[in-house]
Amino acid sequence: MRTAWDSRRDPDRYPVRFLAGIWAQRTGQRLTPRELGQLRDLRKALGDFTRHVIEWMVDPVHWWRFCQRVRAESGLPSAPPYAHVGFLLKHHGRALRIMRRELASSTADADVRFCAQLDSLRAEKLKRLLCVLAAGAPEWLARIDAAQNLTDLQRVFIDIVDENTAVSA
């Protein structure tokens, strides 16, 4: 017999319950109401990346690597030994960066798609920042438009910052 909770796990209509179902299935832990709220906030913060992040993070090996990197970067004395929604929410930016680094060499379709979508999102944000930094200079705007990918945009960013640093010195 299905409960009302089970019937409301449609990923499109009830995305938080769907994600909570993945969490419970993979970890064996049912989320508390507070953790469901944190999961909702995580979904707001990560958007379309949430499902992939959760599926990756609930693996104990991945969780351990993630926690070790967070501890090293932030100087925290400890981290939760098992997947914890609140900890993931607090460090979701680091989670994306760490996952990107870990999945860069993966050939799985979902991982390749994740990396490409994340790179595309970062490229869009960097392009908007570069347009502001270019301050209307036609030569910089032309280089920004000519950039093909995230790496090209990062090179333009470095050049703009270097030039602005040299001018102000």
Determine whether 94 is exposed, middle or buried from the number of CB atoms within 10 Å of its CB (0-12, 13-18, 19+): middle
Residue at token pair 């602005």:
164
pLDDT at 57: 94
Q: Tell me the pTM.
A: 0.78
d(CA 143, CA 158): 12
| Residue 126 phi, psi dihedral angles, 5° rounding | -65, -35
d(CA 71, CA 50): 22
d(CA 20, CA 22): 5
pLDDT at 14: 78
Using an 8 Å Cβ cutoff, are 102 and 80 in contact?
A: no
Beta carbons within 8 Å of 78's beta carbon, 6+ residues apart: 71
pLDDT at 169: 67
pLDDT at 97: 93
pLDDT at 163: 85
Helix (H, G, I), strand (E, B) or coil at 23: helix
Residue at token pair 């990062």:
154
pLDDT at 101: 92
CA atoms within 13 A on the CB side of 20: 21
Averaged over successive runs of 10 residues, the pLDDT of the chain (169 residues) comes to: 56 81 89 94 93 93 94 92 94 94 91 92 91 86 89 90 79
